[in-house]
Amino acid sequence: MLPDHVTLCDVGPRDGFQFEDRFIPTDRKLAIINALADAGLPRIQAASFVHPKWVPQMRDAEAVCAGLPDRDDVIFSGLALNQRGLERAHAAGLSHVDLSIATHDAHSQDNANMSVDEAVAQADAMLDYAAAHGLSAQMGFQTVFGYQEPGDTPLEQITELAAHFAQRPLDSLSLADSTGMANPRMIQQRVEAVQQVIGDVPLVLHLHDTRGLGLANVYAALEVGVSWFDTSLAGMGGCPFIEGATGNIATEDTAYLLEQLDITTGVDYRAVARASTQIEAFLDKTFPGTMHHLLQRSAATPA
């Protein structure tokens, strides 16, 4: 049985924007964030707190957070990958933080220059800090569905990590298809294995549409009870540190699919599509999402 309600978190202002070489001014970032909030997104990942040498687009993370609207109906979060980033997110006034570690040993070495065990120890210390300072934390796992080839991250390692972090006070646990290698069968197998060890901890899927299976993977996840997904307006984004890892599932496409399935989200996909069209125009490029292009063509067609 499919869920009656699904929560969408738009990660575009972080995951989407970080992929762009052209700097998006702070006021324009905030305009998009406000548009997403007005469209009904209950959760928005507003920024990441990383060194601007590695992700120049996020050099104004503190300014973005300072300009976030004061709303009771939206949770704004920021990504922190190390202790310094977490301290910056806290100082910037965020009460919700997203932490993330690699689950594939080679990826952990390539991306963070540490083993998975070292990453776990760092994440534990960060969770201690979050708890001590009253921060709500999501724990994210990268490359759950493969790094160099589909399924090459050991499932046993993923479930062991999930069981470990499920003992901590978490807002949620996120499984990321960082490379876009997942398929519907793998989604169900790995999600069900994780569900068995995390108890009542809410499970989030962060899917990429790199190989065109994004929405098929959403449906497969719905069938096994997942009711929380990360999405990105227009299908923006990817990972700058993984070659070819482009294309998050588009917020407006996912919201439209769920509406067609009679699953409520509270998200107006048409309003998200308008924001997608605006960021495309500013960046003068086309993103892979579908619904904003379809609605744009429909609006331009004479009655």
CA distance readout (Å), 229 to 37, 173, 213: 16, 11, 15
Catalytic residue among 239, 242, 250, 267: 239
Alpha-carbon Rg for the chain, nearest whole angstrom, is 18
* Number of helices followed by number of strands (H, E) in the chain: 11, 8
Helix (H) or strand (E) holding 146: none
Residues in the chain: 303
Active site residue 239: yes
Short-list 280, 208, 276, CA closest to 247: 208
Q: Using CA atoms, how far apart are residues 275 and 268, in angstroms rounded to an integer?
A: 11
Beta-strand ranges (E) seen in 81-210 are 96-102, 136-142, 172-176, 203-206
- Look at strands 172-176 and 7-10 and give their pairing: unpaired
Torsion angle, CA of 290/296/299/302, rounded to 10 degrees?
Answer: -90
Q: Using CA atoms, how far apart are residues 12 and 47, in angstroms rounded to an integer?
A: 9
Q: Using CA atoms, how far apart are residues 72 and 92, in angstroms rounded to an integer?
A: 18
Angle at 25 between CA 49 and CA 71, to 5 degrees: 65
3-state secondary structure of 171: coil
Q: Which residue has the tokens 């063509």?
A: 297
Short-list 228, 217, 236, 162, CA closest to 193: 162
Residues carrying an active site annotation: 239
